[in-house]
Structure 1
Amino acid sequence: MSAFNAIDDEREIDREEFTPALEPQPTWCPGCGDFGVLKALKQAMPEVGRTPEETLLVTGIGCSGKLNSYFESYGFHTIHGRSLPIARAAKLANPGLEVVAAGGDGDGYGIGGNHFMHTARENHDMTYIVFNNEIFGLTKGQTSPTSPMGHKSKTQPHGSAKQPLRPLSMALNSGASYIARTAAVNPNQAKQILQEAMEHDGFAHVDFLTQCPTWNKDAKQYVPYIDINESDDYDFDNTNREEAAEMMFETENKLHEGEVLTGRYYVDSDRPSYQQEKQNIGEMPDEPLAERYFDEDYEWERSYDMFLDKHA
Structure 2
Amino acid sequence: MSAFNAIGSDREVEQDEFTPSIEPQPTWCPGCGDFGVLKALKGAMADLGRDPEEILLATGIGCSGKLNSYFDSYGFHTIHGRSLPVARAAKLANPGLEVIAAGGDGDGYGIGGNHFMHSARENHDMTYIVFDNEVFGLTKGQTSPTSPKGHKSKTQPKGNAKSPIRPLSLSLTSGASYVARTAAVNPNQAKEIIKEAVEHDGFAHIDFLTQCPTWNKDARQYVPYIDIQDSDDYDHDIHDKEQAEKMARKAEDALYEGEVLTGRFFVEEGRRSYPEEKKHRGDMPEDSLAERYWDEDAEWERSYDFIERHE
Q: How does 1:27-38 map to 2 (within 5 A)?
A: 27-38=27-38
Matched, 1:18 2:25: no
Distance 2:134 2:289 in 1: 39
**Offset, 1:269:** 1.2
Matched, 1:278 2:274: no
Amino acid at match of 1:50: R
Q: Name 1:154's counterpart in structure 2.
A: 154
Q: Name 1:96's counterpart in structure 2.
A: 96
For the residue of structure 2 that corresponds to 1:284, the secondary structure is coil
1:213–1:220 contact (8 Å) kept in structure 2: no
1:93–1:290 contact (8 Å) kept in structure 2: yes
Distance 1:2 1:60 in 2: 28
Residue by residue over 1:65-109, the C-alpha shift from the partner in whole angstroms, topping out at 9 and shown as x without a partner, is 000000000000000000000000000111010000000000000
Q: Name 1:229's counterpart in structure 2.
A: 229
1:212–1:220 contact (8 Å) kept in structure 2: no
Residue by residue over 1:247-280, the C-alpha shift from the partner in whole angstroms, topping out at 9 and shown as x without a partner, is 0001000000000000000000111100110111
2:3–2:290 contact (8 Å) kept in structure 1: no
For the residue of structure 1 that corresponds to 2:261, the secondary structure is strand
Compare 62-71 and 14-23 and name the one that shifted more.
14-23
Q: Name 1:298's counterpart in structure 2.
A: 298
Q: Name 1:239's counterpart in structure 2.
A: 239
> What are the ranges of 5 or more consecutive residues in structure 1 without an aligned counterpart?
none
Matched, 1:182 2:160: no
Distance 1:70 1:310 in 2: 47
Q: Name 2:78's counterpart in structure 1.
A: 78
Superposition CA RMSD, Å? 1.6
TM-score of the aligned structures, taking structure 2 as reference length: 0.97
Distance 1:49 1:273 in 2: 23
2:110–2:145 contact (8 Å) kept in structure 1: yes
For the residue of structure 2 that corresponds to 1:294, the secondary structure is coil
Compare 47-56 and 286-295 and name the one that shifted more.
286-295
TM-score of the aligned structures, taking structure 1 as reference length: 0.96
**Offset, 1:221:** 1.1
Matched, 1:140 2:128: no
**Offset, 1:296:** 2.1
Count of residues paired in the alignment: 311
> What are the ranges of 5 or more consecutive residues in structure 2 without an aligned counterpart?
none
Q: Name 1:248's counterpart in structure 2.
A: 248
Q: Name 1:45's counterpart in structure 2.
A: 45
Amino acid at match of 1:220: R
Matched, 1:165 2:150: no
Q: Name 2:211's counterpart in structure 1.
A: 211
For the residue of structure 2 that corresponds to 1:266, the secondary structure is strand
Distance 1:279 1:81 in 2: 28
Residue by residue over 1:95-136, the C-alpha shift from the partner in whole angstroms, topping out at 9 and shown as x without a partner, is 010000000000000000000000000000000000000000
Distance 2:84 2:94 in 1: 15
Residue by residue over 1:178-217, the C-alpha shift from the partner in whole angstroms, topping out at 9 and shown as x without a partner, is 0000000000000000000000000000000000000001
Amino acid at match of 2:135: I
Distance 1:5 1:286 in 2: 20
Query: Could you list the runs of 4 or more consecutive aligned residues of structure 1 that deviate by over 4 angstroms after TM superposition?
Result: 304-307, 309-312
2:94–2:288 contact (8 Å) kept in structure 1: yes
